[in-house]
Chains A and B, each alone.
Chain A
């Protein structure tokens, strides 16, 4: 082969040049703006099964950057509306796919951002969510029976945004199930009872307790210690012990620590350096680790992480719902947060 390849370092060691990077603000705006424009793009096409979440990641990141008007509001709302299943009330990731709790939350988040909940049948959404709760309090993701604490989070987050937490699901049972997924060893949570603790699922469970006003059930000292141990010398955070750092895990851990009032247990400065080192200076967007391919998912969690760390030029983000704080305020929602000891 006669072409030359050049691989950027991908060892998670932070910025290879050692210099502090600055936020490539306009590159990221451009990256997100262009994301949905090439419909025949291979990556775009192959990820249609999560399109609704993709739109949530893009709109939220742009809104945090104060650039939401770069996307066509009307077009997006029409798309979301077309994805509501007339039978179940849940949302599919895109037309031709089946409804699922994951995309139902994304759809509701997008509509909240656009202040357009009146465009859909909210009662049907509530029925969909309520119908997925099981006798043990857990939630199926859809009618096919997968159980996961992610779905418990999606259920309460959706209902909270729709202001329908009361008189819908059995909150006590839902709490009991999530609590049964807590591990005695580290105070963390996995996807189901007995599953190993994992930062992504910890975020879902901590977020779940924040939304159900039950943060007192957490062993904050034990869990907070395990979470702050996720920070590696590069400043980035991993999702489990002895794993590589990742921008998205940085968000899961950072948001959980923030909700628990323990943000000061990690080095914010080092984390900020790590997140900035994961920017793609050419195309815009953030990747999971320094030198990797950017994507829309890590772009939201990069921007969101920087916002939580107080980076200038970004709107504040709510750590529980991963949405701009002004929208949460507009909805009059106050997810619980613990104070610093």
Chain B
């Protein structure tokens, strides 16, 4: 039960209500009893349909009654299809024909009768949806009915969606139904996008419309490199549109969520893992992946040096998150050979490990931002300026603080890092409920930058050093550090992180 306000009433009123409800209970029980008796007797007839209507109109959540209606519908359809089976043509004279035609007009054809069966179900679901527009059962029954009908009128259903979305533009049932109907009706994606644009123009604060839009755009304007959700040109237009929306009401979150998605990488959840770091020595190897991967079987990890080819296996997990793995296969390391790590979809050249004659490694820092064309860059800069202007007037505006930081990252991650941390620090205060989130985000951004700088640092990759002033609430991307022998950080930070300090190569004792 949702949204029912508790109302205090007098004893008199309560008594009246009690009596009224007692009658309703009696009527419900009588109807249910009759329905169950009829069902047991196999009486799937018109009386059954009207008995279920009485209850469903008040309470569309009684699933079983919808099931019974479906049984009735199937029964009726099966009778009608028997009637419609072609009968032996009667040997009739010419004069008799007009009379027969008249008869046919008087009694509806089985097909028309079938349509009226469907109509009856559709009408009932509409009545029920008026009572409860979020009834899973009523929506499902509508879909089921249409699926039974080869002559279903999908255009009519599309109009119904338009009507219902006017009542409530956030009803996710209606939006789901709309996606189902547009597919059935063959509505082109471009036309849907226009509908969506209209909806957003009427009300910017409409997460459901923005969501619908996010499904259509990647399909209509694909991004070839797949490092952004859609083509750069379209992305630029979308950024313009969404910022206008966001500025109309900066406290409404819908447009800001959409904007963050636009600025993101467009990465697919089911993409294959990439190698983050790898280190090899004669006693074995360690492999870190950029995302958790519980099974390395499909990666087919091989080490190639000239003619020499070794399949590395078996792999044992190093961390519970399954991003880091070790392989204790003894290996005849040749310091003068060039080694390549071959995986199903990647081929990586290893570099000799400095300062030793036993070992090679690979390292690829996490990607912080996608590449950017000049046009897109200038749009991002314009947007950033608008955000910074707004912050002059409203320095505590949460969404503007966050978005300007995201824009600065998209423009130049490292140049804007200090400023971005400042924004996150401010967000911890103005949006204190999510303090923990901003702290972890700051740690992530910091590690991304530190890891990007690491290959230029002295001692790389055997030593990783965090300056004393670096403050972190957590240490994400820990798996990237597995190739180091030594992690240097302030004692205070080490104590704070406790058992979350990542493992090093030397600790693995291969």
Contacts of B229 in A (CB 8 A): 184
Decide if B207 touches A241 in the complex (CB within 8 Å).
Answer: yes
Tell me, yes or no, whether A213 is within 8 Å of chain B by CB: yes
Decide if B172 touches A266 in the complex (CB within 8 Å).
Answer: no
**Binding-face segment, A1-9, A55-63, A69-77, A105-113:** A1-9
Contacts of B463 in A (CB 8 A): none
Contacts of A146 in B (CB 8 A): 136, 140
How many interface residues does chain A have, given as a range?
35 or more
CA distance A214 to B258 in the complex (A): 27
| Identity of the chain B residue whose Cβ is nearest the Cβ of A219 in the assembled complex | B269
Q: A96-B36, A228-B434 are in contact. Are A213 and B6 (CB under 8 A)?
A: no
Tell me the minimal C-beta distance from B366 to chain A in angstroms: 12
Name which of A184, A190, A195 has the most chain B CB atoms within 10 A of its CB. A184
Decide if B172 touches A195 in the complex (CB within 8 Å).
Answer: yes
Name which of A98, A145, A185, A198 has the most chain B CB atoms within 10 A of its CB. A185
Tell me, yes or no, whether B433 is within 8 Å of chain A by CB: yes
| Identity of the chain B residue whose Cβ is nearest the Cβ of A244 in the assembled complex | B3
**Binding-face segment, A29-37, A289-297, A305-313, A319-327:** A289-297
How many contacts between A and B, using CB within 8 angstroms? 193
User: B residues 176-201 with Cβ under 8 Å of A?
Assistant: 176, 179
**Binding-face segment, B23-31, B158-166, B304-312:** B23-31
User: A residues 183-202 with Cβ under 8 Å of B?
Assistant: 183-187, 190-192, 194-198
Tell me, yes or no, whether A231 is within 8 Å of chain B by CB: yes
| Identity of the chain B residue whose Cβ is nearest the Cβ of A195 in the assembled complex | B176
Decide if A224 touches B261 in the complex (CB within 8 Å).
Answer: no
Decide if A45 touches B28 in the complex (CB within 8 Å).
Answer: yes
Q: Is the interface of A mostly helix, strand, loop or mixed?
A: loop
Tell me, yes or no, whether B87 is within 8 Å of chain A by CB: no
Partner of B253, one of A179, A196, A228, A241: A241
Decide if B59 touches A46 in the complex (CB within 8 Å).
Answer: yes
Decide if A179 touches B270 in the complex (CB within 8 Å).
Answer: yes
Decide if B1 touches A265 in the complex (CB within 8 Å).
Answer: no
Tell me the minimal C-beta distance from A38 to chain B in angstroms: 11
| Identity of the chain A residue whose Cβ is nearest the Cβ of B139 in the assembled complex | A146
Decide if B215 touches A194 in the complex (CB within 8 Å).
Answer: yes
Contacts of B436 in A (CB 8 A): 228, 264-266
Tell me the minimal C-beta distance from A301 to chain B in angstroms: 12
Partner of A293, one of B4, B211, B294, B437: B4
Q: Contact string, B37-66, partner A, CB cutoff 8 A, digits 1/0?
A: 000000000000000000000010111101
User: B residues 265-303 with Cβ under 8 Å of A?
Assistant: 266-270, 291-294
Partner of B6, one of A185, A226, A280: A280
Q: A194-B179, A197-B211, A228-B434 are in contact. Are A5 and B7 (CB under 8 A)?
A: yes
User: A residues 123-164 with Cβ under 8 Å of B?
Assistant: 142, 144-146, 148
CA distance A197 to B25 in the complex (A): 38
CA distance A262 to B320 in the complex (A): 16
Contacts of B485 in A (CB 8 A): none
Partner of B144, one of A144, A192, A217, A221: A144
Tell me, yes or no, whether B509 is within 8 Å of chain A by CB: no
Decide if A190 touches B257 in the complex (CB within 8 Å).
Answer: no
Decide if B8 touches A216 in the complex (CB within 8 Å).
Answer: no
Contacts of B32 in A (CB 8 A): 96
CA distance A235 to B433 in the complex (A): 8
CA distance A221 to B267 in the complex (A): 13
Contacts of B1 in A (CB 8 A): 288, 293, 295, 297-298
CA distance A100 to B61 in the complex (A): 13
CA distance A183 to B293 in the complex (A): 21
Contacts of B12 in A (CB 8 A): 3
| Identity of the chain A residue whose Cβ is nearest the Cβ of B183 in the assembled complex | A194
Tell me, yes or no, whether B373 is within 8 Å of chain A by CB: no
Q: A228-B437, A292-B5 are in contact. Are A49 and B62 (CB under 8 A)?
A: yes
CA distance A46 to B175 in the complex (A): 29
Contacts of B474 in A (CB 8 A): 340-341
| Identity of the chain A residue whose Cβ is nearest the Cβ of B209 in the assembled complex | A196
| Identity of the chain A residue whose Cβ is nearest the Cβ of B40 in the assembled complex | A96
Contacts of A262 in B (CB 8 A): 437
Contacts of B253 in A (CB 8 A): 229, 241-242
| Identity of the chain A residue whose Cβ is nearest the Cβ of B478 in the assembled complex | A341
| Identity of the chain A residue whose Cβ is nearest the Cβ of B440 in the assembled complex | A341
CA distance A4 to B258 in the complex (A): 47
CA distance A216 to B292 in the complex (A): 5
Tell me, yes or no, whether B425 is within 8 Å of chain A by CB: no
CA distance A208 to B222 in the complex (A): 31
Partner of A287, one of B6, B214, B218, B320: B6
Tell me the minimal C-beta distance from B346 to chain A in angstroms: 19
Contacts of A100 in B (CB 8 A): 63
| Identity of the chain B residue whose Cβ is nearest the Cβ of A176 in the assembled complex | B270
Q: A96-B36, A292-B3 are in contact. Are A196 and B211 (CB under 8 A)?
A: yes
Decide if A97 touches B6 in the complex (CB within 8 Å).
Answer: no
Decide if B172 touches A144 in the complex (CB within 8 Å).
Answer: no
How many interface residues does chain B have, given as a range?
35 or more
Decide if A217 touches B270 in the complex (CB within 8 Å).
Answer: yes
Contacts of B64 in A (CB 8 A): 49, 92, 96-98
Decide if B252 touches A242 in the complex (CB within 8 Å).
Answer: yes
| Identity of the chain A residue whose Cβ is nearest the Cβ of B18 in the assembled complex | A42
User: A residues 50-90 with Cβ under 8 Å of B?
Assistant: 50
| Identity of the chain B residue whose Cβ is nearest the Cβ of A6 in the assembled complex | B8
Tell me the minimal C-beta distance from B482 to chain A in angstroms: 16
CA distance A187 to B265 in the complex (A): 13
Tell me, yes or no, whether B349 is within 8 Å of chain A by CB: no
Q: A179-B269, A217-B269 are in contact. Are A293 and B5 (CB under 8 A)?
A: yes
Contacts of B264 in A (CB 8 A): 222
Partner of B172, one of A40, A190, A270, A280: A190
Tell me, yes or no, whether B336 is within 8 Å of chain A by CB: no
Decide if A246 touches B2 in the complex (CB within 8 Å).
Answer: yes
CA distance A146 to B136 in the complex (A): 9
CA distance A143 to B328 in the complex (A): 52
Partner of B67, one of A46, A98, A225: A98
Contacts of A46 in B (CB 8 A): 24-25, 28, 59
| Identity of the chain A residue whose Cβ is nearest the Cβ of B65 in the assembled complex | A49
Decide if B172 touches A42 in the complex (CB within 8 Å).
Answer: no
CA distance A179 to B176 in the complex (A): 17
Tell me, yes or no, whether A338 is within 8 Å of chain B by CB: yes
Contacts of A40 in B (CB 8 A): 22, 25
Tell me the minimal C-beta distance from B348 to chain A in angstroms: 22
CA distance A240 to B29 in the complex (A): 37
Tell me the minimal C-beta distance from A243 to chain B in angstroms: 8
Q: A46-B59, A146-B136 are in contact. Are A242 and B176 (CB under 8 A)?
A: no
CA distance A243 to B440 in the complex (A): 26
CA distance A58 to B335 in the complex (A): 69
Decide if B437 touches A224 in the complex (CB within 8 Å).
Answer: yes
Tell me, yes or no, whether B432 is within 8 Å of chain A by CB: yes
Q: Contact string, A260-292, partner B, CB cutoff 8 A, digits 1/0?
A: 001011110010000000001000000111011
- Please list 11 pairs of residues, one from A and one from B, whose beta carbons are closer than 8 Å in the complex, sorted by A's number: A5-B7, A50-B61, A96-B36, A179-B270, A216-B321, A229-B434, A241-B254, A243-B170, A295-B1, A298-B1, A341-B475
Given A5-B9, A7-B8, 17 more contacts at CB 8 Å?
Answer: A3-B13, A10-B3, A46-B25, A46-B28, A46-B59, A144-B67, A145-B144, A185-B210, A190-B172, A191-B176, A196-B172, A241-B254, A266-B434, A292-B4, A340-B500, A341-B475, A341-B500
